[in-house]
Structure 1
Amino acid sequence: MSLPFSVAVPTVEIVGSDDRFPVRRIFCVGRNYAEHAREMGGSPEREPPFFFSKPADALVEANADIAMPPRTANLHHEIELVVALGSGGRDIAQDRAIETIFGYAVGNDLTRRDLQADAKAAGRPWDMAKGFDASAVISPIRRADEIGHPAKARIWLTVNGEARQEGDIADMIWPVADIVAELSTYVELKAGDLIYSGTPAGVGRIVAGDLVEGGVEGVGTIANRFI
């Protein structure tokens, strides 16, 4: 018997290709820049990273208009370097982790900060604060075999032209290879996985009408109007 419905696999544009990147899972790293860890009330010390997830269908394109999500009065932006995996494995060695990477993109890890604060206070999961519809902005992916593996690059975000976030990916507490290796000790990584690698300081509120723009030098840019 055939099912009366079908489910599409979310995909992301690949720069310079007619193919699209099929997305399996989205993993995110929390507090991976020292100043952001401080602004969120955490420690900037290099402790093991912690991870959370978003559903693959939370993805939204880099230039799309985004409807303000329900059930929040404090929506925040978080600009990030995104890692797209072309292979995976378990217990991947740090010196082999780069081999799993297909390419890189720019992301905005949208967060219902008020729901997150309530969840933290109650000792509850963050799912509704992080994994809501259209909560994972992503630019087209640039292949690593074309741009290499960026280790030092400006990362920035503006709201209505006003600078909000400014940093360098070299300031990540856990570099990309370390993130991939550590995450692979928790789950088996596979081709199609995306990893949002953390955000620098300066996260803040978005309201309806705001134009949020950002990027990572040499990787790409995003520009989304919130409606």
Structure 2
Amino acid sequence: MSNFREIGRKIVGVGRNYRAHAAELGNQVPTKPILFLKPTSSYISQGQKIKIPKGCTSLHHEVELGVVIGKHGNDIPETKAMDYVSGYILALDMTARDFQDEAKNKGQPWSIAKGFDTSCPVSEFIDKSKVKNPEQIGLWLKVNNTMRQNGNTKDMIFGVPYLISYISQYFTLEAGDIILTGTPSGVGPVTAGDVIEAGLSDLVSIKFEVEKKGK
């Protein structure tokens, strides 16, 4: 994943973009995209391990379709948005849920909860030509061979063109930037020694082991 670290300037996450996921966490369904940022230092690729951040007692998995931006743009019209996509990745938005809950209760940012080191495991790059419709593709996640998440991007509240257009009104998008489009229902905790497997239709699959930080 060195190419994303070197080229990508930012990772833009979209929160609560599936109704069922919002409901399972007791959150209201948003009327406009909820955005947060993850640093590029959070990237890992296969062969590396997800490390539970110091003090975290509830680390959750979230499988997501990642959209890779191919060129510079801002205030992008929704009708032109897909011209700015170079491809896709399968990603995990690992979330320190206890940190996030505490931050929400105090009205504080989610930066540590969402952006700690190893919080963004990703697959290899998938060229856009291999994805006929990013809003009609299945994604799944297993923990220790048990299915936890099994969803489809058709259930997203805000689709890919809308997200690109909306985000570009506030953040200039640059080549290599990643948009994480949200997660379906079924999120849950993982602990040290667990193995996470996830897939995007039949296009790509990933596997990561979880360990305590410091190992």
Q: 1:31 aligns with which of 16, 20, 23?
A: 16
Query: When the two structures are superposed, what TM-score results if normalisation uses the length of structure 2?
Result: 0.93
Extract structure 1 runs of 4+ deviating beyond 4 A: none
Distance 1:116 1:93 in 2: 33
Q: Deviations over 1:43-78 (max 9, x none)?
A: 236x11110000011100034222322120000000
Query: When the two structures are superposed, what TM-score results if normalisation uses the length of structure 1?
Result: 0.88
Q: 1:186 aligns with which of 145, 170, 187?
A: 170
1:10–1:57 CA contact under 8 A, matched in 2: no
Specify the SS of the correspondent of 1:226.
strand
Range moving further from structure 2, 174-183 or 146-155: 146-155
In structure 1, the partner of 2:181 is: 197
Q: 2:51 aligns with which of 59, 67, 91?
A: 67
AA aligned to 2:95 is T
- Establish whether residue 128 from structure 1 lines up as the match of residue 120 from structure 2: no
In structure 1, the partner of 2:39 is: 55
Distance 1:85 1:94 in 2: 14
State the identity as a percent.
38
Specify the SS of the correspondent of 1:181.
helix
User: How far did 1:186 drift?
Assistant: 1.1
Q: Deviations over 1:79-128 (max 9, x none)?
A: 00000000131111111000000100100000110000000000111111
Task: Mark the runs of 5 or more structure 1 residues left unpaired by the alignment.
Answer: 1-8, 13-19
Task: Mark the runs of 5 or more structure 2 residues left unpaired by the alignment.
Answer: none
Aligned residue pair count: 211
Which protein is bigger by CA-based radius of gyration?
1
1:81–1:197 CA contact under 8 A, matched in 2: yes
Distance 1:206 1:11 in 2: 28
1:104–1:219 CA contact under 8 A, matched in 2: no
- Establish whether residue 104 from structure 1 lines up as the match of residue 96 from structure 2: no
1:10–1:23 CA contact under 8 A, matched in 2: no
Distance 1:219 1:22 in 2: 23
After superposition, residues 85-100 of structure 1 pair within 5 angstroms as 85-100=69-84
Distance 2:12 2:73 in 1: 15
Could you say which structure has the higher helix fraction? 2
User: How far did 1:149 drift?
Assistant: 4.1
Q: 2:3 aligns with which of 7, 11, 34?
A: 11
Q: CA RMSD in A?
A: 1.7
In structure 1, the partner of 2:103 is: 119
Distance 1:187 1:141 in 2: 23
Change (3 A) 1:153 1:195: same
AA aligned to 1:35 is A
Specify the SS of the correspondent of 2:64.
strand
User: How far did 1:187 drift?
Assistant: 1.2
User: How far did 1:218 drift?
Assistant: 4.1
2:8–2:174 CA contact under 8 A, matched in 1: no
